[in-house]
Amino acid sequence: MAAKKKKKKERKEKGLQFYREMGLKAVVVTVLLAAALSYYVYNPMPDAIQEPWKLMAVDAAFRTGINLVREDAFSAFRGCKSPAGVVPGVKVSDITFAGVPVRVYEPPAGGEGHLRRGLLYLHGGGWAFGSGKMGAYDKVSRMISDELNTVVVSVEYRLFPEVLFPEPFLDCVAAAKHFLSPEVLDKYAIDPERVAVSGDSAGGNLAAAVAQEVATDDSVPVKFSVQALIYPVLQALDFNTPSYVQNRNMAILPRQVMVQFWLQYLGADISLQPQLIANNHSALQHSVLTPELRSRLDWTSLLSQKFKKSYKPVVAERDSHGLLKKIPGLLDARSSPLLAGPEVLAKCPRAYILTCEFDVLRDDGLMYARRLKDAGVAVTSDYYEDGFHGCLSFTSWPLDFDVGKRVLRNYMTWLQNNL
């Protein structure tokens, strides 16, 4: 009897020991997973960024998406759309303009007896992902259509890896010219004197390039009256501007990711990324980069001291890889609107250019604003000291930021007052 009790007690103690060991292992695994997750998510933020942990979480999700792009699996994100009826009364139609898919938003006020505004919008996403039908873009298009009595046309241009430069640009130009045709403007009761082109990030790049193309094409009788560029990417010859260096590891769009987007867009090998980050592609040996051409993106003369700070230009002596021959698109103003000559800029419509302090693209926008002004174009430069790349897309709970709400409201106010 005593022996049975002893064995029973031993089995109980062994069981308890087993559970204690399993519990300890579970705790260790949990701690390790939490540490790994924190390591993946944690990215030091500037003090001016509000709710830094929220931005870190968004950044971690975005980095995951970028990895999926490398595996050509971002299609799941492309299909993410907003539910219809976010703004009651706005009519939404998915059609084509000159063979290019577009989504048209018509305001509820109607056009009977009153001409309306028109806005061509080009979404961002590094020329590789995104859609005007996705949540934030769809929401903003509906708001603009409703509040500003505007017919908004959001262009679904083709993306990498399906196509490379210049195809996305050509899609946008085709849609723009169709939209600006007198027949289409008349169909939607749009005032031909009140038509804008706008876009953010890579879409801002396309919007600027389309604005230049339309402005200089005499076969297009109706021109855009304004262009609204939201943290646009405008050049690929200098990845060591003050904002590129200062924000090289910033959330959402670190320098290496922007360089990756450029290489993908221009059909180049991703392995060339370190060469471009070192500015070897714009080395002094390249005679095609004349002093006049270099002056078009010379941040030492185009930026104010507030933004130059103590940064120094990074200029390579030689390019041993022949990068400009391998990537001719680097010198094409259709991909890099900042390279356009003053004679082209002088014909462009008045502009609104939004830039953010914590964005590698800040100086692209600031330099373009300066060059447009020098060419005689009226420019509103809207700069946010606490802004970060992509903030316009974060205006709804739970991924809402105060700066995003301010950016959206000021953008819409400018359109209301200038379009």
Domain membership of residue 179 (yes or no) is yes
Question: Is residue 206 packed enough to be buried (19+ CB in 10 Å), middle (13-18) or exposed (0-12)?
Answer: buried
pLDDT tier, 28 (very low <50, low <70, confident <90, very high otherwise): very low
Q: How many whole angstroms from its chain centre is CA 167? A: 18
Looking at per-residue pLDDT, the higher value among 218 and 58 belongs to 218
| Poorest-pLDDT segment among 7-16, 166-175, 185-194, 209-218 | 7-16
Say whether 138 is catalytic. no
Written as six digits, the tokens of 374 are 């020098």
- What pTM was estimated for this model as a whole? 0.87
Cβ contacts of 266 within 8 Å, gap of 6 or more? 164, 165, 236, 327, 329, 330, 335
Helix H segments across 346-389? 362-374
Do the beta carbons of residue 151 and residue 93 sit within 8 Å? Answer: no
Residue 9's φ and ψ, nearest 5 degrees, are -65, -40
Domain membership of residue 372 (yes or no) is yes
CATH number, domain of 168, equals: 3.40.50.1820
Looking at per-residue pLDDT, the higher value among 14 and 157 belongs to 157
Cβ contacts of 205 within 8 Å, gap of 6 or more? 199, 232, 233, 234, 335, 337
Do the beta carbons of residue 123 and residue 200 sit within 8 Å? Answer: yes
Written as six digits, the tokens of 262 are 């450029």
pLDDT tier, 32 (very low <50, low <70, confident <90, very high otherwise): very low
Say whether 335 is catalytic. no
Residue % of the chain over a pLDDT of 70: 83
Do the beta carbons of residue 391 and residue 407 sit within 8 Å? Answer: yes
| Poorest-pLDDT segment among 103-112, 166-175, 239-248, 354-363 | 103-112
Which of 31-45, 77-91, 263-277, 394-408 ranks highest by mean pLDDT?
263-277
Domain membership of residue 350 (yes or no) is yes
Q: How many whole angstroms from its chain centre is CA 90? A: 26
Q: Please state the rounded mean pLDDT for residues 295-322.
A: 96
β-sheet bridge partners, residue 198? 121, 228
Say whether pLDDT at 83 is over 70. Answer: no
pLDDT at 64: 76
pLDDT at 86: 56
Number of compact structural domains in the chain: 1
Q: Which residue, 238, 248, 199, is CA-closest to 359?
A: 248
| Poorest-pLDDT segment among 63-72, 286-295, 311-320 | 63-72
pLDDT at 215: 98
Say whether pLDDT at 7 is over 80. Answer: no
pLDDT tier, 25 (very low <50, low <70, confident <90, very high otherwise): very low
pLDDT at 91: 96
Domain that holds residue 369: 77-234+333-418
pLDDT at 68: 59
Domain membership of residue 356 (yes or no) is yes
Distance (Å, whole) CA 232 – CA 126? 11
Q: How many whole angstroms from its chain centre is CA 49? A: 19
| Poorest-pLDDT segment among 34-38, 104-108, 110-114, 376-380 | 34-38
Distance (Å, whole) CA 350 – CA 194? 12
Do the beta carbons of residue 184 and residue 214 sit within 8 Å? Answer: no
Could you count the other beta carbons within 10 Å of the beta carbon of residue 124?
25
Domain membership of residue 27 (yes or no) is no
- Give the active site residue among 201, 225, 335, 393: 201
- Give the active site residue among 141, 281, 389, 393: 389
Say whether pLDDT at 278 is over 60. Answer: yes
Written as six digits, the tokens of 38 are 């924190």
Domain membership of residue 207 (yes or no) is yes
pLDDT at 37: 42
Written as six digits, the tokens of 285 are 């040996």
Domain membership of residue 100 (yes or no) is yes
Say whether pLDDT at 85 is over 60. Answer: no
Reduced to 3 states (helix: H, G, I; strand: E, B; else coil), residue 112 is coil
- In the sheet that holds 116-122, the strands lie side by side as 91-97, 100-106, 150-155, 116-122, 190-200, 226-230, 350-358, 379-388
Say whether pLDDT at 280 is over 60. Answer: yes
- Give the active site residue among 359, 363, 364, 382: 359
Q: Please state the rounded mean pLDDT for residues 44-51.
A: 81
pLDDT tier, 113 (very low <50, low <70, confident <90, very high otherwise): low
pLDDT at 295: 98
Tell whether the torsion through CA atoms of 256, 258, 262 and 265 is positive or negative: positive
Say whether 141 is catalytic. no
Domain membership of residue 274 (yes or no) is no
pLDDT tier, 80 (very low <50, low <70, confident <90, very high otherwise): very low
pLDDT tier, 114 (very low <50, low <70, confident <90, very high otherwise): confident
Q: Please state the rounded mean pLDDT for residues 275-298.
A: 97
pLDDT at 60: 81
